[in-house]
Structure 1
Amino acid sequence: MKRKNILFIMADQMAAPMLPFYGPSPVKLPNLSRLAEQGVVFDAAYCNSPLCAPSRFTLVSGQLPSKIGAYDNAADFPADVPTYAHYLRRLGYRTALSGKMHFCGPDQLHGYEERLTSDIYPADYGWAVNWDEPGVRPSWYHNMSSVLQAGPCVRTNQLDFDEEVVFKARQYLYDHVREDGDRPFCLTVSMTHPHDPYTIPKAFWDLYDNADIPLPATPEQHSLDPHSQRLLKVYDLWDKPLPVDKIRDARRAYFGACSYIDDNVGKLLQTLEETGLADDTVIVFSGDHGDMLGERGLWYKMHWFEMAARVPLLVSAPGQFGARRVSAAVSTADLLPTFVELAGGSLEPGLPLDGRSLVPHLQGQGGHDEAFGEYMAEGTVGPLMMIRRGAYKFIYSEDDPCLLFDVDNDPREQEELSHSPQHRQLFDDFLAEARARWDIPAIRRDVLASQRRRRFVAGALTLGTLKSWDHQPLVDASQQYMRNHIDLDDLERKARYPQPCQNQ
């Protein structure tokens, strides 16, 4: 049986609750909505850490952040941590990454044979969090300029990046069908939209009218939980009300950026059709975390509320999996064992893994219903953990009050249940489970030690000759296009798709 290719498409900071295939929404996503109609949609998929790098390190490795030192956006990702790219490469797949993965450290491949672009974010330790000085706000922290400057644009850094990401990904697909051999591929296409700053070209801005933009619910700041209050101070919003028109502009631009992602998904789907790869390719779409978008008065991510922690997850493989919805809680840590099973492989015994395969869910045979999360970065003064199981979400901290929500019946998490008498036993059970699962003093020591090492090393590496860890895509121009050492007719024939007959 021919093994299926895998096209894994990622969006950055795309909040699942805002998307039309999860509920009523003004966001226009025709291509993704069509995939959702014909595929398997996970209604309760979560990131394992609501921040870019920790979430992505967990996603590619299937291991929770505390297991691999993925503490913040400047955490080193060790080269000996197995990823789905290592697994699939051992199974004979071509493995490639086009776009963002925010790998930190000198290994910028982590099992991918090729990275078609550089990354949009730095690979060094410069964004390390500092628990030794919890009251100091570093200059590189998020601020509110993304909202205050929201609106339409002609060009941005992020547009430059995503245009290259999609162009290189499409070229990879064209090259795949023009080359000899029958190795399947796993191509990861990771775009940076709809991540802030909240700005997008006029064509996508004009898809929406101000009247179509629902405003968020914003409670009094002093009524928020302690971690939320710290986040407001992290991004410099404490006691600084935002103009309503800028809140609306930011959300409108964000919706436009979601439509921009959808447009790029359409280009990739078109390329699969043009190259005859569509029937042989499993398409997986997901993200690294969401965006609060002003809900609860919060922005960006960095908390365990649904807007920040829930991610889109859909799998489209017509003829292999029937269209269905999965209500069980899962996480992006489950993708590694899922990809391995889809590729016909098996997990290596003796290697640590926290994720579980989603294939039983894809086949309609049930499966696990729980997700775990760990957050130790911006806004924290200690580990902030999450358990999502059944109808409930439990947010655990030894520094702040623990929080309990019935997200099935209260999806906007407006009623906190930790003091509810009828939920007392459930709360106690969650607390006991969390304390048995996580050794918070040990994790705190590990985080502090890592932060101190990285701050020291980062300071040293800024002195003297700079040797960048940022990925440098290498291009051999002597093998591109038309060159005198390559037969012209042979080159033109091989580069054309479909190829003309030899005798014409």
Structure 2
Amino acid sequence: MPQSGNVLFIVIDQLRADCLSGALADCIELPTLRALIADAVRFDRHFSVTNPCGPSRASILTGQYAMNHRSVRNGTPLRHDTPSIASEMRKAGYRPMLFGYTDTSADPRAYDASDPILKSYEHPMPGFDEVLEMRLEESYPWRAHLMQKGYAFQDYWDLHKPTAPDGGAPRLNDPAPYRAEDSDTAFLTDSFLNHMAPMAGQGWFTHLTYIRPHPPLVAPSPYNDMYDPAALPLPIRHADEAQDRAMHPFFEPTIDRHSAGDVVLGFDEVEPSDQNIQTLRSVYLGLTTEVDHHIGRVIQFLKDSGQYEQTLIVVTADHGEMLGDHHSWGKMTVFDAAYHTPLIIRVPGNQAQAGQVVTVPTESIDIAPTILDWVGRTPPNAMDGRSLLPLLTGDAPEDWRNCTYSELDFGDPQAKTLWQQQLGTGHSDSNLSILRDARFTLVEFAADLPPILFDHQQSGEMQNVANDPAYAADLARLGRQMLRHRMRNTDHTLSLHSITSDGPKVQTRY
């Protein structure tokens, strides 16, 4: 029987950190998350180590950089023997329960070629018990729920389109075709609460994953028009789109690949006007508030059932969303908005640190080791991340990292991406690495492309200063630091094991 109590691990898909602290925070109502922050510890410089959804979740759940697990795209298999939070929590006596999805692509070496598991990238990571399937492209339980409620739809994707209440042509922020109490967010929460009700005292581990505010951007009433588009701050960008494109060759295909029309369904074309962009941003905020409301129901359940003080609560996001910043949408880019994510952790009995903000850099790969550390399990050496428990108790290690590191693979081995077509990159060099310290962001490419350097004490992400001779020394220093980081974090699965005459020996990594 686990000794440390329950673990509730919530991931919100595509939630920007600045919804809680930053440009959008003053415009959005998030009472649950703000109350949790006051009772927990918030990590202010927390970043995803890779994008998009599948790779990011692979890193979160395995504690590995993408350069080690190599599930670098949606649809790229994850090795079946990779240690993960699920496999390690089982060793600690927990049954890892999944409500939602992990977007894991199965290892084809472990299955027959005709197995249906090899036809979708949305399967659960090995080790999880999928209590409720809520995969974006499937969601059969939710569909069944809507059908039982009398909703009629011929195509599943019609559920993701705004619907005009008067039956006319829809607007971008018209409501979804279902009521708020029947939304995918509500259904997921209802299923969690119904299943978990009898499990008090059993020492459970639950991974609860919300698809919203991930596009398609459509929200049920009242969340669809909860926020006035005119009251929101405009995206961070150059007034002339050409200036954002000109900062580096990578940004031309990046801007072209995703547009405002790609985040909403049911419209032939969406003009990228400020009005339309702000309207879509308002729907995104409405969806986020809806998720906050339902997380509130989960927190209240823990309190009402007497489990709040026995439960480690972790709330984060897999990655961010550009929302029109730099004339870009989605998360396939290099800017902070795509990687900077919220992280809130409440440790039972840690009231002395309630409301504290940790400002040292942390990464998404730190979450799995933290949970394992809390339940008394030593993280395997394969995990690149470090436990955050010392930071949670106000005792930062002297050797804690001073930078964050992320990767992005922008190629596709089956069909060349727009980046590959325009930049002339191949299968193995269509990738980049990002290093962020207190002042700079460095982006290096595997292909023969120039680096990108942002100086956050000057113009930040509005100007690439890599070609400025005044930054030559900084560029060289950061390049060496990135190389050393990669060298120090290459795969440690077996590298600290030794076969000796006395049998196998192992040294722990941290």
1:416 equivalent in structure 2: 464
Deviation per CA, 1:311-366: give whole Å up to 9, x if none.
Answer: 11011235225121111111111111111101111123xx4221111111111111
* Structure 1 residue ranges without an equivalent (≥5): 124-144, 443-504
2:372 equivalent in structure 1: 340
Q: 1:394 Cα shift?
A: 1.5
Q: State the TM-score, normalized to the length of structure 1.
A: 0.75
Q: 1:401 Cα shift?
A: 2.4
1:308 maps onto 2:338 in alignment: yes
1:87 equivalent in structure 2: 88
Q: 1:403 Cα shift?
A: 1.7
Deviation per CA, 1:181-224: give whole Å up to 9, x if none.
Answer: x5411111100001112221221234312332222133233332
SS at match of 1:8: strand
Alpha-carbon distance in 1 for matches of 2:419, 2:378: 38
| More relative contact order, 1 or 2 (CA 8 Å, 6+ apart) | 1
- The aligned amino acid for 2:227 is Y
Alpha-carbon distance in 2 for matches of 1:201, 1:233: 30
Deviation per CA, 1:84-114: give whole Å up to 9, x if none.
Answer: 1111111012211101211122373421234
SS at match of 1:293: coil
Q: Residue 410 and residue 353 in structure 1: after superposition, are their counterparts in 2 closer, same or farther (change >3 A)?
A: farther
Q: 1:434 Cα shift?
A: 3.2
1:451 equivalent in structure 2: none
1:59 maps onto 2:60 in alignment: yes
Deviation per CA, 1:141-195: give whole Å up to 9, x if none.
Answer: xxxx99x963131337997433332122112320212xxxx54111111000011
Q: Check whether the contact 2:24–2:233 (CA below 8 A) recurs between aligned residues.
A: no
1:194 maps onto 2:213 in alignment: yes
1:172 equivalent in structure 2: 195
1:115 maps onto 2:131 in alignment: yes
- The aligned amino acid for 2:187 is E
1:163 equivalent in structure 2: 186
Alpha-carbon distance in 2 for matches of 1:44, 1:150: 33
SS at match of 1:151: coil
Alpha-carbon distance in 2 for matches of 1:5, 1:356: 21
Determine which of 372, 388, 397 is the counterpart of 2:445. Answer: 397
Q: Residue 255 and residue 83 in structure 1: after superposition, are their counterparts in 2 closer, same or farther (change >3 A)?
A: same
* Structure 2 residue ranges without an equivalent (≥5): 107-116, 118-122, 140-160, 163-169, 262-269, 412-417, 421-429, 491-510
Superposition pairs for residues 88-167 of structure 1, below 5 Å?
88-105=89-106, 106=117, 108-121=124-137, 150-155=172-177, 160-167=183-190
Alpha-carbon distance in 2 for matches of 1:170, 1:260: 17
Determine which of 257, 265, 290 is the counterpart of 1:234. Answer: 257
Q: Check whether the contact 1:20–1:29 (CA below 8 A) recurs between aligned residues.
A: no
SS at match of 2:71: coil
- The aligned amino acid for 2:462 is Q
Q: Residue 210 and residue 374 in structure 1: after superposition, are their counterparts in 2 closer, same or farther (change >3 A)?
A: closer
Alpha-carbon distance in 2 for matches of 1:22, 1:35: 20
Q: Check whether the contact 1:71–1:376 (CA below 8 A) recurs between aligned residues.
A: yes
1:426 maps onto 2:474 in alignment: yes
2:287 equivalent in structure 1: 257
Q: Residue 213 and residue 78 in structure 1: after superposition, are their counterparts in 2 closer, same or farther (change >3 A)?
A: same
Determine which of 318, 327, 342 is the counterpart of 1:297. Answer: 327
Percent of pairs with identical residues: 23
Alpha-carbon distance in 1 for matches of 2:459, 2:300: 35
1:28 equivalent in structure 2: 29
Alpha-carbon distance in 2 for matches of 1:22, 1:3: 38
Alpha-carbon distance in 1 for matches of 2:393, 2:24: 24
**Runs of 4+ off more than 6 Å:** 156-159
2:493 equivalent in structure 1: none
Deviation per CA, 1:27-61: give whole Å up to 9, x if none.
Answer: 11011011112211111111111211010001100
Q: 1:16 Cα shift?
A: 0.7
Alpha-carbon distance in 2 for matches of 1:318, 1:92: 20
Q: Residue 76 and residue 62 in structure 1: after superposition, are their counterparts in 2 closer, same or farther (change >3 A)?
A: same
1:211 maps onto 2:233 in alignment: no
Deviation per CA, 1:267-304: give whole Å up to 9, x if none.
Answer: 11111112111110111110011111111111111112
Q: Check whether the contact 2:97–2:207 (CA below 8 A) recurs between aligned residues.
A: yes
Q: Residue 363 and residue 429 in structure 1: after superposition, are their counterparts in 2 closer, same or farther (change >3 A)?
A: same
Superposition pairs for residues 342-361 of structure 1, below 5 Å?
342-348=374-380, 351-361=381-391
- The aligned amino acid for 1:194 is P
- The aligned amino acid for 1:229 is E
Alpha-carbon distance in 2 for matches of 1:393, 1:221: 22
Alpha-carbon distance in 2 for matches of 1:122, 1:418: 44
Alpha-carbon distance in 2 for matches of 1:264, 1:431: 44
Q: 1:435 Cα shift?
A: 4.4
Number of corresponding residues: 411
Deviation per CA, 1:218-255: give whole Å up to 9, x if none.
Answer: 323333222221122222679x9612221111011011
Q: Check whether the contact 1:20–1:33 (CA below 8 A) recurs between aligned residues.
A: no
Aligned alpha-carbon RMSD (Å) = 3.0
Q: Residue 290 and residue 411 in structure 1: after superposition, are their counterparts in 2 closer, same or farther (change >3 A)?
A: farther
Q: 1:438 Cα shift?
A: 5.4
1:276 equivalent in structure 2: 306
Determine which of 352, 355, 361 is the counterpart of 1:329. Answer: 361
- The aligned amino acid for 2:274 is V
Q: Check whether the contact 2:124–2:130 (CA below 8 A) recurs between aligned residues.
A: no
Alpha-carbon distance in 2 for matches of 1:17, 1:295: 12
SS at match of 2:313: strand
Deviation per CA, 1:364-402: give whole Å up to 9, x if none.
Answer: 111423322111136544111111233332211143321
